[in-house]
Amino acid sequence: MSNNYLCPRCKGYLNVGDHLVFNVKTKKPRGGLIFLSPEIGNYQVIKHPHFELEEGELVEFFCPICHRKIHCTRNPYFARIVMVDSEYNEFEIIFSRKVGEKCSFKVKEGKITEFGKHASRFNDMFKSLQSNQPFKNI
Ligand SMILES: [Zn+2]
């Protein structure tokens, strides 16, 4: 079994085939579906060509199943989902909501792995994730 990705709110599966599916809203305001790679650190976005995402825009992420916002409570600049690996270990995956910004964190009880060339912009976030907060409060 490969990794599964879940909505942190309804625990529905966000991975379908080789993609993670999200409902996003832009400032325009306009909504659309995007596919992201389940490989953390791969920032390829697949979308309908008429659904435009502006570079640098902060988009809102919603679960396509329960339609709730899936932003990180500790820092709403980031979106947050849950990853379950093949041995049923749970991780929090936190990634930037800014279009074109390559920054993700994989978190498990204060152990953090960072991904993406822009991750160094967020050293404060990295430190805050390391602090000893309950897992579910991320
Ligand atoms: Zn959901």
Per-residue pLDDT reduced to its tens digit, 85-124: 999 999 999 999 999 999 999 999 878 999 999 999 998 8
- Alpha carbon of 69 to ligand 1 centroid (Å): 8
- Give yes or no for a contact between 79 and 17, defined as CB atoms under 8 angstroms apart: no
- Alpha carbon of 40 to ligand 1 centroid (Å): 20
- Alpha carbon of 29 to ligand 1 centroid (Å): 21
Phi-psi map region of 34: left, alpha, beta (phi>0 left; psi -120 to 50 alpha): beta
pLDDT of 134 > 80? The answer is no
The phi and psi torsions of 80 (rounded to 5 degrees) equal: -140, 130
- Alpha carbon of 131 to ligand 1 centroid (Å): 27
- pTM for this structure? 0.92
| Amino acid at residue number 103 | C
- Alpha carbon of 21 to ligand 1 centroid (Å): 11
| Amino acid at residue number 5 | Y
Q: Is 123 helix (H, G, I), strand (E, B) or coil?
A: helix
- Alpha carbon of 50 to ligand 1 centroid (Å): 25
- Reported as a single tens digit per residue, the pLDDT across 16-74 is 999 999 999 998 888 999 999 999 999 999 999 999 999 999 999 999 999 999 999 88
- Alpha carbon of 4 to ligand 1 centroid (Å): 14
| Amino acid at residue number 45 | V
- Alpha carbon of 81 to ligand 1 centroid (Å): 10
- Alpha carbon of 27 to ligand 1 centroid (Å): 22
- Alpha carbon of 111 to ligand 1 centroid (Å): 25
pLDDT of 138 > 80? The answer is no
